[in-house]
Amino acid sequence: MSMIRAAAIIVVGVVLSAPYTNAQAAKVNVTGKWLFNVETGAGSGTPSMTFTQDGEKLTGKYQGQFGEADLTGTVKGQDIVFSFNVDAQGTAVNFKYSGTIENKDALKGKVEIVGLGEGTFTAKRQ
């Protein structure tokens, strides 16, 4: 009987802690400047992104070897998705990033350079 009681206490504790965990995740805000480390089959780079988050809406600016570009995306829970277009020697190139917010100061995920390849990224808040 005491094992059943102990199991019930554990279940109640887990259920009651779930709203707290979700509330913590909802408070994630990526607003600020981030330094990225991007690795692709074509090479690597260290662009910076400046994000402004308003609820789930994400806007900002890319700065890197392809110049500067405005970006847009979303933050939903721990998931972050954003994209931007750059002009690479007269050719429009679209970058799509999708990843997870590891903690308030770290991101990681995948990058797709549409039509050219894929890679991975990590990022740290500056």
The residue extents of the domains of the chain are 29-125
Which pTM was predicted?
0.79
Q: What is the pLDDT of residue 126?
A: 96
> For 37-86, how does the pLDDT look when each residue is reduced to its tens digit (9 = 90+)?
999 998 999 999 999 999 999 999 999 999 999 999 999 999 999 999 99
Query: What is the CATH class of 29-125?
Result: mainly beta
For the CA atoms of 67, 73, 76, 80, the dihedral, rounded to the nearest 10 degrees, stands at: -30
DSSP E strands in 11-105: the ranges are: 32-40, 43-45, 48-54, 57-64, 67-76, 79-88, 91-103
